[in-house]
Amino acid sequence: MSHRLALFGGVYSNHLALRAVLEDVERRGAGAVWCLGDLGGFGPHPDRALEILRSSGVPALRGNYDDSIGHGRGDCACGYTDPRDNHFAQLSYDYTAARTAADHKRWMAALPEQQRLEIGGRRVLLCHGSPRRVNEFLWESACSDAFLEWLCEAHGADIVACTHTGIHWHRALPSGRHVVNVGAIGRPANDGRTEVWYAELAVNDAVSVEFHPVAYDHDELAREMEAEALPPEFVETTRTGWWTTCLENVPAPERRRGRH
Amino acid sequence: MAATPLPLVGAPSPARPEPDAGRYPAQPLHHLDALWIQVAGTLCNLACTHCFVSCGPGDLRHPLMSRGEVRDRVAEALALGVKEIYFTGGEPFMHPEMLEILADTLPRVPCAVLTNGTLFTQRRLETLRALSDASRCALEIRVSLDGYRAEDHDRFRGEGSFARTLDGLRRLSDHGLLPIVTVTQNGDEDPLAFRARYITMLREAGVARPRLKVLPMFLLGRETARTRGYLEIETLLDLPAASFDPDRLQCGGCRAVTAKGVFVCPLLVDEPGGRMGGRLDETLGPFPLAHGACYTCYVTGMTCANG
């Protein structure tokens, strides 16, 4: 019997993409859906995405952004080290924190940080950044197999699913374990395409992962971002599919695939 | 847990007394995320006035590591689940087999090479790009720069080195290797303005898409003669256990190897107490943060790693 699980993360207030992704998930008929966190940031009107997500009944994890917004912390704790990245992150965070309803904040603060599932006899661990740290960036090119094997072993998982970096990837490890970064649905994957991406995990005798691009009305989102006076750099990313900010901890191979 | 703020001070410096290890915070190794390999030992083509391991031409205090030695260390680290490897020196490209060592290592684990950027031949650049393209693991080339003007950089590194380093950066960029430029900031300039100044200069010099990493200055090695060493007050001695944040320091996730053994971190390879053992698996225990450099790391929250 095949078990199919739809996994998405990095909503970043993109309510239009969230609606489109939920429709795509519904159409494909996955058995279960999880959101791996980071509901706010980057996009406009944070409450819109929160209302869609909460009314959908899709369970969600508490990403670093949700933890910060939910607990009223001073910044997003994304883990950037570059001053320009932190500058833009702070603009986005202050905008989001000021426009998120208190009820949503309480809800986010109470979300679980991780979730364990047993699917087809395999131990699946859903997390935000990594199993050991909510804001750890797991980039495909920056992780050895040896490290990912250790991470799975140390956290008792056959399959680890995470998000946080915004670029999706999947690695089948020599031991038969799997690590999946499900990508983000709030902004494009720095690939020059305006679609956003989520993952579908299928577990039967084998494990397979498929990434689905989802088109949505990105022009409308860009107009909303402009109307909210969000940074033009963010709007450009939405319109072009190329990242313009939060680039400095992107490893060379992933950055080389981008434009900036 | 928030770290207790500690004062940064500046004045001349007496030597530090023998540490009483029990009175310093003990930093656990959470996991070996990064292994630093001082592949070129202390051999360098430059003799920078602020070098924290006092490297220079003909300096073999830490000898070059052989290709086999590096392979063994990488194997030890992979068995421990290492995430990434950093090659340093000295100047790594003074090592006659640096490219072969990268070819051995990069297929299995992400690598960064820390270089002064003055020794890039066309063949080296082409090989580096080919190695990078052939692996799914990242190859990061980090180049040190000590000022956005030639006179500043050359004061540390010698006449003409700024121009040679910029030329190296431009050629790395032309080969799509997207170098990370490592700079030190000591003044009080606004970090955004400081960053923008470097980025502008690098773009004007022909480095497309410059990347920047800012580090503090460490009062180690030759830098102690140029400015000063650490003061007695610059210490984590008797820091209350409740104030100590064990997630703040890079030595919670790294070790460094040279031909002389395994050290706690790449900064303390020449310092008393820095050597922890001969094999990596002997060095997985806690480390007493007794050195002045531990104070700099703790106060600034810096890491030598890329991210």
> Which 91-110 residues of chain B touch chain A by CB within 8 A?
108-110
Name the residue among B81, B140, B177 with its Cβ closest to that of A149. Answer: B81
Q: How long is chain A? A: 260
Q: Based on the number of CB atoms within 10 Å of its own CB, is B126 exposed (0-12), middle (13-18) or buried (19 or more)?
A: exposed
Residue A16 CA: distances (Å) to CA of A33, A234, B83: 18, 16, 37
Q: How close, in Å, is residue A24 to chain B by CA atoms?
A: 30
Name the residue among B82, B141, B307 with its Cβ closest to that of A146. Answer: B82
pLDDT greater than 60 at residue B16: no
Q: How close, in Å, is residue B37 to chain A by CA atoms?
A: 17
Q: Can you give the pLDDT at residue B191?
A: 87
What type of residue is B266? P
Cis-peptide into B90, omega within 30 deg? yes
A contacts of B136 (beta carbons < 8 Å)? 140-141, 253
Residue that is written with structure tokens 């050991």 in the block: A132
Residue B296, in any domain of the structure: no
**Between chains, do B132 and A151 touch, taking CB under 8 Å as contact?**
no
**Which of B1, B48, B9 shows the shortest CA–CA distance to B296?**
B9
pLDDT for B135-173, tens place per residue?
Answer: 999 999 999 998 888 988 888 888 898 999 999 999 999
Name the maximum alpha-carbon separation found in chain B.
54
- Counted domains in chain B: 1
pLDDT greater than 60 at residue B189: yes
Q: Can you give the pLDDT at residue B248?
A: 85
CATH number at residue B149: 3.20.20.70
**Between chains, do A255 and B132 touch, taking CB under 8 Å as contact?**
no
**Residue A177 CB coordination number (10 Å):** 21
Domain that holds residue B178: 31-231+251-287
**Between chains, do B110 and A144 touch, taking CB under 8 Å as contact?**
yes
Q: Which two tokens stand for residue B208?
A: 């497309």
pLDDT greater than 50 at residue A16: yes
Size of interface A-B (CB pairs under 8 A): 88
Residue B184, in any domain of the structure: yes
Bridge partners of residue B255, in order along the sequence = B35
Domain that holds residue A96: 3-256
The answer to whether the beta carbons of residues A211 and A198 sit under 8 Å apart is yes
Is 0.90 exceeded by the ipTM?
yes
**Which of A95, A129, A132 shows the shortest CA–CA distance to A225?**
A95
CATH number at residue A216: 3.60.21.10
Confidence of residue A1 (pLDDT cuts 50, 70, 90): low
Residue B241, in any domain of the structure: no
Half-sphere exposure in the Cβ direction for A11 (13 Å, CA) = 36
Q: Which two tokens stand for residue A113?
A: 């940080």
Residue B293, in any domain of the structure: no
Taking residues B16-30, report their average pLDDT. Answer: 79
- Counted domains in chain A: 1
CA B289 to chain centre: 18
Residues of A with CB under 8 A from a CB of B: 79, 81-84, 87, 132, 137, 139-147, 149-151, 153-154, 247-249, 251-256, 260
Residue B4 DSSP one-character state: P
Q: How close, in Å, is residue B303 to chain A by CA atoms?
A: 10
Report the percent of chain B where pLDDT is more than 70: 93
**Between chains, do B139 and A81 touch, taking CB under 8 Å as contact?**
no
Residue B178, in any domain of the structure: yes
